[in-house]
Amino acid sequence: MTTTTLHPQGPFLQSWNKIFVLSCIFAVSVDPLFFYIPVINDNNTCWYLDKKLEITASVLRFFTDIFYILHIIFQFRTSYIASSPTTFDRGVLVEDRYAIAKRYLSTYFLIDVFAVLPLPQVVIFVVQPNLRSSEVAKAKNILMFIVICQYMPRLIRIRPLYLQITRSAGVITETPWAGAVLNLLIYLLASHVLGALWYLLSIERKDACWRDTYLQSAHLREEEMRVKSRDTDQWMSYRLLPENLKERIRRHEKYRWHQTSGVDEELLLMNLPKDLRRAIKRHLCLSLLMRVPMFENMDDRLLNALCDRLKPVLYTEGSCIIREEDPVNEMLFIMRGNIMSMTTNGGRTGFFNSDVLEGGDFCGEELLTWVLDPTSVSSLPSSTRTVNTMSDVEAYALRAEDLKFVDTQFRRLKQLLPLARGSSS
């Protein structure tokens, strides 16, 4: 070894080449770990990226890259033996740094640089954290593509290095089966990579199946909506409905489909066990009922009975829920949307009062006094206000017959009559 270059058959470079070959074998053993980063979660029907494996593979890759970088540095200082037409010996030893660099740049330099670029680490620690959840699949595909592209040059470099060692004296070549061992290692590494690729392809296949299932389900829903819309249009044409009324019906059907995706909520709840159905209704509606002063003093049995009787209703913007002086046949508990409640006090000249009701409010409280008053007649009470929707409204309705049923089943409601009269006065 000279002061400026390394002799290709010198003891230092011979030892280093053996170490570097072993590091390359270890590196190509580590790279397939990146293929196992996607993990299937069958319980949640999804896949996710294993963060611990990401960090482990990246750290191991970092250490193997250090050996690769050192190898690139040594290549610029390693002299080589060039054939000479004027001599008949083994050749001329070239120690010129410029000639060495030119030779290396024209052979394996680009392959070595590409193989050592920390692209997987950049994707994992820089690109991936800044992506939205919908873009993680793209990052995963990019990472796998990079690992495959960098794996080939890393694997290709092992064979020339081994041949370079075997052309010189070294421990690795003193046994006749050294080449067979290396070939076996390469075969095992190839099997390791094929297994990792097979695992990755199985992940991709399962992901594709999930996507196809979702798209088929969405397509069926869309087809169901299209058929129902066509049937509705045929019915409206058969009944000779005016165009403005047709448009209101279409808007209501579109809004209802958007909110429920074609799912019949009442039918869904009816197919559930009673205790589960009650728990769901209580979760959805109890807070709405408790906004009514009269219901605050009721026990759980009465509240559960009222929750069981609530029905979901939808109104589109501009709908008239009830007019002043019309019979009140339900109480309405608003979940979402805005409602305008107004009165002229029975048509009195110059009198007008209005309120805006929103989520958590209710209307139709005339039913409370009516259902609890023993002197009330069988006819429904008249509304004191006109109620129109200012936006699309989602609400729950408690109908008069259902409130009457609860009153019949639980006579203790009668004890709350003074409180109900006090709250309505």
pLDDT of residue 1: 40
Indicate the residue type of 287.
Answer: S
pLDDT in tens, 224-272: 778 888 888 888 888 888 898 888 888 888 888 877 776 777 778 888 8
- Asked whether the beta carbons of 56 and 43 are under 8 A apart, the reply is no
CATH assignment of 11-205, among 1.20.120, 1.10.10, 3.90.550, 3.30.70: 1.20.120
Based on C-alpha coordinates, what's the Rg of the chain? 40
CA quadruple 35, 41, 44, 49: dihedral sign:
negative
Sheet arrangement for strand 386-389: 320-322, 386-389, 339-343, 353-357
By C-alpha distance, which of 272, 293, 294 is closest to 283?
272
B/e letters for 106-122, b = 16+ CB within 10 Å, e = fewer, are eebeeebeebbeebbbe
Average pLDDT of the residues in 397-403:
89
pLDDT in tens, 183-199: 777 778 778 888 888 88
Q: Which CATH number fits domain 265-424: 2.40.50.140, 3.40.190.10, 2.60.120.10, 3.40.50.12500?
A: 2.60.120.10
pLDDT of residue 172: 45
HSE, CB side, 13 Å, CA atoms: give it for residue 334: 24
Q: What is the pLDDT of residue 315?
A: 92
Q: What is the mean pLDDT of the chain?
A: 81
Query: Does pLDDT of 171 surpass 70?
Result: no
Domain ranges in the chain are 11-205, 265-424
Contact criterion met (CB below 8 Å) for 94 and 80: yes
As a whole-number percent, the residues of the chain with pLDDT over 70 amount to 85
Report yes or no: 17 and 168 within 8 Å, Cβ to Cβ: no
Q: State the pLDDT at residue 350.
A: 56
Residue 117, CA distances (Å) to 173, 212, 317 in order: 31, 37, 59
Largest CA distance in the chain: 130
Percent helix, strand, coil in the chain (nearest 5)? 60, 15, 25
Owner of token pair 């593979």: 57
The amino acid at 411: R
Over residues 103-130, the pLDDT tens digits come to 888 888 898 899 899 998 898 888 888 8
> DSSP label at 175?
S
